[in-house]
Amino acid sequence: MRGDVTTTRMVPMSDLCQDLFGLSAAPPEAFLNHGDALLVIAGDGEVSEAELARLVDHQRRMGAPEEVIGLYGEFAHRPNAPRSCGRPA
């Protein structure tokens, strides 16, 4: 999902996201990083099904593409994880 800054695809964000944050578009990686950060905050060593479901609902409301939403299930909560936030390298 990483790409050259000059060729990064932008995904339109929802009206809700525009109203809340003033953002109209973001690259898919921004949605992924935001979701991973929320999973780190919500997780207490693991992410429950309810926590994951809440994140998926939230991200869909923000306009996250389904390709990104599908990746949230691969998240593995690890304390002190490197920048990958627990995602396999």
SS3 for 69-84 is HHHHCCCCCCCCCCCC
CA 61, CA 16: separation in Å to the nearest integer? 7
Q: Could you tell me the pTM of the whole model?
A: 0.73
**Angle made by CA atoms 18, 20, 23, in degrees to the nearest 5:** 35
Report pLDDT digits (tens) over 37-61. Answer: 888 887 777 888 898 899 999 999 9
Report pLDDT digits (tens) over 62-89. Answer: 999 999 999 988 887 665 555 454 455 5
Task: Specify the pLDDT at position 2.
Answer: 45
Closest C-alpha among 67, 72, 61, 9 to residue 38: 72
* Token pair for 20: 């809340």
